Amino acid sequence: MTLARRRFIGATLAAIGAPTVRAQASGTAFVVSGFPAGGMGDMVARPLTEKLRGKFAESLLLDARPGAGGRIAVDYVKRAAPDGRTILQIPGSVMSLYPHIYSKLSYDPVADFTPVSSLCGYVYSFTAGPGLPAEIKTVAEYVQWARANPQLALYGIPAAGSALHFAGMMLQRSARFDFNSVPYRGGAPLLQDLLGGQVPVSFNVLGEVLPSIKTGKLRSLALTSPKRSPFLPGVPTMAEQGYPDIALQEWLGWFVPAKTPADVVHRLNAQVRESLQSPELLDALARNALEPQHQSPEEFAAMLKRDIAHWGPIVKATGFKAEE
């Protein structure tokens, strides 16, 4: 079959909706994200795919499939051909936390996927916008205000059942006040409403709100990390402010469908490692308060299993179960 003929067939299959076959025919791979463009995932995926383009595949395209807190994208990649051409980029909690909160989850994070590598680690910010009085600077002051204004004690989260949602539930449980979540479809739309004052506070990935914190449009009341972040060293942690149980960190990682050949997985892993060492990508991560985090597929798989075990008692303590 001639090259022109192969390209024609690939274009025809793409037009009728066969993405995995198209990828094989055209040398194109897809990085599928579970959240809308413009959020933290883009901050990582765009510079990383630029580094990998022409190496792992002739073309590496981003494919945002938001909805259901990232589950739509996970289910899509689960059903893709195991050829390394459909890559899932997803926060750790979608793979480690969701098994504990959804009784009818459509995927098994261990059985249905092969881990490639974690990409970066990041922390969360408990962030206030113009909807919260400017004199409130600490978590204690916020809790006092929320108790006095229960109808305004709302917090935005990028997805229901996310780790950020649990940060709010853990604060509510520890401080003993009514704290009602407002779920969004990703960090970008949440940020718009936080800046607009539609929600007074939110839990956010630090990198998504850091530029607005630096300009004074937003302020961070606390970080959920075990220790202070080098990207915002003047802001104390939740633990420092009396809430030691709220010590949450997150990672972003790449997965491929189960049964993807080991040589493909390790080749992609090696190229991710090389890219994460480049000055351009390190600068891009630092600008967005992200710390590079590379592991072998085996190390990444072990971390995933530890995280799944970690979330079990936390979910049990809150009593939360997500709607199917």
In the chain, the domains with their CATH numbers are: 3-121+251-318 (3.40.190.150), 123-241 (3.40.190.10)
CA–CA separation, 39 and 266 (whole Å): 28
pLDDT of residue 15: 37
CA–CA separation, 44 and 292 (whole Å): 10
What band does 23 get if pLDDT is binned at 50, 70 and 90? very low
Question: pTM value?
Answer: 0.79
CA–CA separation, 152 and 180 (whole Å): 9
pLDDT digits 0-9 by tens, 137-172: 999 999 999 999 999 999 999 888 889 999 999 999
Closest CA to 156 of 147, 167, 148, 145: 167
Q: How high does pLDDT run on average in the chain?
A: 89
pLDDT digits 0-9 by tens, 120-136: 999 999 999 999 999 99
- Which pairing describes strands 86-91 and 113-128: parallel, antiparallel, or unpaired? unpaired
Sign of CA dihedral 194, 241, 245, 173: negative
pLDDT of residue 317: 87
Let me know: does 274 contact 321? Beta carbons within 8 Å. no
pLDDT of residue 318: 87
Let me know: does 123 contact 229? Beta carbons within 8 Å. yes
The residue ranking higher by pLDDT, 202 or 57, is: 202
Quick one: which H or E segment has residue 249? Answer: strand 249-257
Question: Residue 22: is its pLDDT beyond 80?
Answer: no
Q: Is 29 left (phi over 0), alpha (psi -120 to 50) or beta?
A: beta
pLDDT of residue 324: 63
pLDDT of residue 19: 39
CB atoms inside a 10 Å sphere around CB 86? 24
Name the percent of the chain lying above pLDDT 90.
Answer: 72
As a whole number, mean pLDDT of residues 29-37 equals 89
What band does 27 get if pLDDT is binned at 50, 70 and 90? confident
CA–CA separation, 47 and 119 (whole Å): 12
DSSP state of 150: G
Question: Residue 3: is its pLDDT beyond 70?
Answer: no
Instruction: Record the tokens describing residue 163, joined without a space.
Output: 């780790």
The residue whose two tokens read 């649990």 is: 166
Using only the alpha carbons of the chain, give its radius of gyration: 20
DSSP states of 141-193 as a string?
A: HHHHHHHH-GGG-EEEESSTTSHHHHHHHHHHHHHTS--EEEE-SSHHHHHHH
DSSP state of 122: E
In Å, how far from its chain's centre is CA 12?
34
As a whole number, mean pLDDT of residues 285-294 equals 92
The residue ranking higher by pLDDT, 146 or 247, is: 146
Type of residue found at 292: P
Angle formed by the axes of helices 3-15 and 19-26, to 10°? 160
